[in-house]
Structure 1
Amino acid sequence: MNQPFFSIIIPTYNRPERLASCLQAIALLDYPRDRFEVIVVDDGSKTPLDSIVAPLQNKINIKLLRQENAGPAAARNKGAEVATGEFLAFTDDDCQPTPDWLTQFATGFNNNRGAMIGGKTINALDKNPFSAASQKLIDYLYEYYNPAKGKDAFFASNNIAMPAANFKALNGFDVSFPLAAAEDRDFCDRWNLSYPMLYVSQAQVNHYHKLSLTTFWKQHFGYGRGAFCFHQLRSKRVAKDIEVEPLSFYFNLLSYPFSQASRQPKLLISGLFFISQVANVAGFFWERFNFNSTRTV
Structure 2
Amino acid sequence: MNTQPLVSVIVPTYKRKDKLRRLLESLLESDYPKDKLEIIVVVDADGEDYGDLIKEFPRVRFIFNKEEKFVAESRNVGIRNSHGDYIFVIDDDNIVDRRCISELVKFMENNPRVGIAGPIMYYYKDPHRIWCAGIKRNYYTSLTRFIGRGEIDMGQFSEPLLSEDFPNAFMIRREVIDKIGYFDSKNFPIHYEEADFCRRASIAGYEIYTVPTAKVWHDVPLPEEIKEKARFFHVHNEIRAYYAGRNRVIFHKKYSKRHQLLVFILIFNWIITAYYLMVILFGYNKRFKTKLRLAYYYLRGIVEGLKW
What TM-score do you get using the length of structure 1 for normalisation?
0.72
Query: Do residues 160 (structure 1) and 161 (structure 2) align?
Result: no
Alpha carbons 1:159, 1:204 under 8 Å: kept = no
C-alpha separation in 2, matches of 1:293 and 1:232: 9
Q: Which residue of 2 aligns with 1:292?
A: 303
Query: Do residues 9 (structure 1) and 22 (structure 2) align?
Result: no
- More deviation in 284-293 or 94-103? 284-293
C-alpha offsets along residues 223-282 of structure 1, whole Å, 9 cap, x if unaligned?
A: 88436424424424566325549x9xxxxxxxxxxxxxxxxxxxxxxxxxxxxx944986
Could you tell me how far 1:179 is from its partner in structure 2? Answer: 5.7
C-alpha offsets along residues 62-112 of structure 1, whole Å, 9 cap, x if unaligned?
A: 210011211111100000001100110011111000100111011111222
Q: Which residue of 2 aligns with 1:23?
A: 24
| Closer/same/farther in 2, CA of residues 227 and 164 from structure 1, 3 Å limit | farther
C-alpha separation in 1, matches of 2:245 and 2:28: 35
Could you tell me how far 1:35 is from its partner in structure 2? Answer: 0.7
C-alpha separation in 2, matches of 1:155 and 1:236: 16
C-alpha separation in 2, matches of 1:237 and 1:136: 23
Q: Which residue of 1 aligns with 2:231?
A: 218
Q: Which amino acid aligns with 1:229?
A: N
Could you tell me how far 1:47 is from its partner in structure 2? Answer: 0.6
Q: Which residue of 1 aligns with 2:103?
A: 104
For the residue of structure 1 that corresponds to 2:147, the secondary structure is helix
Could you tell me how far 1:198 is from its partner in structure 2? Answer: 1.7
- More deviation in 206-215 or 18-27? 206-215
Q: Which residue of 2 aligns with 1:229?
A: 247
Q: Which amino acid aligns with 2:163?
A: A
| Closer/same/farther in 2, CA of residues 52 and 219 from structure 1, 3 Å limit | farther
Q: Which amino acid aligns with 1:32?
A: P
Could you tell me how far 1:173 is from its partner in structure 2? Answer: 1.3
Listed as ranges, the gaps of 5+ residues in structure 2 are: 137-144, 149-160, 268-273, 281-294
C-alpha separation in 1, matches of 2:227 and 2:47: 23
Could you tell me how far 1:192 is from its partner in structure 2? Answer: 1.3
Query: Aligned ranges for residues 74-153 of structure 1 at < 5 Å?
Result: 74-114=73-113, 115-126=115-126, 135=131, 141-143=145-147, 153=163
Query: Aligned ranges for residues 212-291 of structure 1 at < 5 Å?
Result: 213=226, 217-222=230-235, 225-226=243-244, 228-236=246-254, 240=258, 241=261, 244=264, 278-279=275-276, 287=298, 289-291=300-302
Q: Name the structure with the higher helix share.
A: 1
Q: Identity of paired residues, percent?
A: 19
Could you tell me how far 1:9 is from its partner in structure 2? Answer: 0.3
For the residue of structure 1 that corresponds to 2:12, the secondary structure is strand
Could you tell me how far 1:25 is from its partner in structure 2? Answer: 0.5
What TM-score do you get using the length of structure 2 for normalisation?
0.69
Could you tell me how far 1:218 is from its partner in structure 2? Answer: 2.7
C-alpha separation in 2, matches of 1:7 and 1:281: 42
Aligned residues: 253
Q: Which residue of 2 aligns with 1:176?
A: 186
Alpha carbons 2:135, 2:166 under 8 Å: kept = no
C-alpha separation in 1, matches of 2:264 and 2:305: 23
Please report the RMSD computed on the Cα atoms of aligned residues, expressed in angstroms: 3.7
